[in-house]
Amino acid sequence: MAHPTRPMAFAAAVVAIAALAACSSATVTATPAAEPALAPSSAAAASTPAPPAELTVADFVDRFGPTTGDMVWLSGAEVEDEFHAAAAAFPLDLPAGYTWPTGLSRSLGTVTEYQRGTGVAEAYLYWEAAHATAAYADSRSGDMVSAVAQVEVLVDGYASPIRSMYVDPEEPGTDSEYYRSVLEPALNGDLEPLLHAQVASFISTDEYLAIAAQAGDEIRVGTEGFSRSVDDQPGDPGYIEDVRVELEHRIPSE
């Protein structure tokens, strides 16, 4: 996932006119009266932009969900635009202190056309991975109550149509492999599968790592059983890239 400048109303000064003495050529200067405080005009108040209304989940799906008819194809730049539009309207909250990034974590490569919805799916996956990272950070700090609460937010989001309209569309909630192998263990206090499924990929992006750090979730890479370097990954070289590819495959290509 700039604010308009609020217009200002300016009051006109009230000018006091000096009275002239009828019987004398001398000029008498009157003391100016104090300026009254004027309320902003109704026109100025009416011109103040209202904050954008938050979308409900149903509204979001209506706006960004699949459409009937011919397939719509997007360029890489249009996918980025779709991602930012979905992030700006996303109805599910990010973890406390987290913000939307300036761009996608992965290169759009040499593909020149993407299905409509790819940017929306990327926004959901960012939201999902942000909560996974916050949950893992809470678990590392010993706050398992907060960690499990973050996972419960993940479960609710995974069960929503925001996920199923583009990501794992044929996986019905708790019957999905992701739920059974990642979310269910996390609900029971085992966040290692969540680390390997999403957290490692999230913090392998410099901007995302910085976003987590600004929220107070500093995960020191290299001391958590994995490394930012694919070549240096202890015990399982290349798995970070494998996880990223796996997440990309969750977005249908047809």
115 pairs with which residues across the strands? Answer: 73
The segments of the chain whose pLDDT lies below 70 read 1-53, 109-111, 172-173, 220-254
Backbone angles phi, psi at 36, to 5 degrees: -75, 145
What is the reported pLDDT for 251?
54
Give the pLDDT score at 148: 96
pLDDT tens for residues 169-215? 777 667 788 899 999 999 999 999 999 999 998 998 999 999 999 99
Structure confidence at residue 53 (pLDDT):
55
Read off the amino acid at residue 195. Answer: L
Q: Contact at 8 Å (CB) between 212 and 219? A: yes
The alpha carbon of residue 4 and the mean position of all alpha carbons in its chain are separated, in whole angstroms, by 20
Tokens 């599910």 — which residue? 92
- pLDDT for the residue numbered 106: 73
Per-residue confidence (pLDDT) for residue 250, from 0 to 100: 52
Burial of 103 (0-12, 13-18, 19+ CB in 10 A): exposed
What pLDDT is attached to residue 19? 33
